[in-house]
Amino acid sequence: MDLLADHSPEMCSQIGLDCGSCIHRAAASVANICHGMQPPAVQQIFFQLYTSPGCHPMAQAFGLAYQEYQPEPQRVLTFATAAA
């Protein structure tokens, strides 16, 4: 089996992978690398990663997982200076 060529849900399930876990792991990785992408960009990444039509129903789950794994916005600390 060539996992690069055969990446349909059926092939993945034969080796013990499930769609939910796969989607969440991939979305977490994308979120760590590419912060703050807009939904169309997230969807484009999904379809580039998952080219099998059998995977396409998971596109919305990938988008939701991406949002879930976005890092918290960094707080900007401001310091007030006292007038002397």
Per-residue pLDDT tens digits for 49-75? 998 888 999 999 999 999 999 876 654
Q: Is the dihedral of CA 62, 34, 69, 14 positive or negative?
A: positive
Predicted pLDDT at 13: 77
Considering the entire predicted model, what is its pTM? 0.73
Break the chain into its structural domains and give their ranges. 19-68
Q: Would you give the distance in Å from CA 42 to the centre of its chain? A: 7
- pLDDT over 90 (residue 2): no
* Each residue's pLDDT tens digit, 7-41: 677 777 787 778 888 899 999 999 999 988 999 99
pLDDT at position 37 is 93
Confidence check: pLDDT of 84 > 70: no
24: which residues sit within 8 A by CB, 6+ positions away? Answer: 65
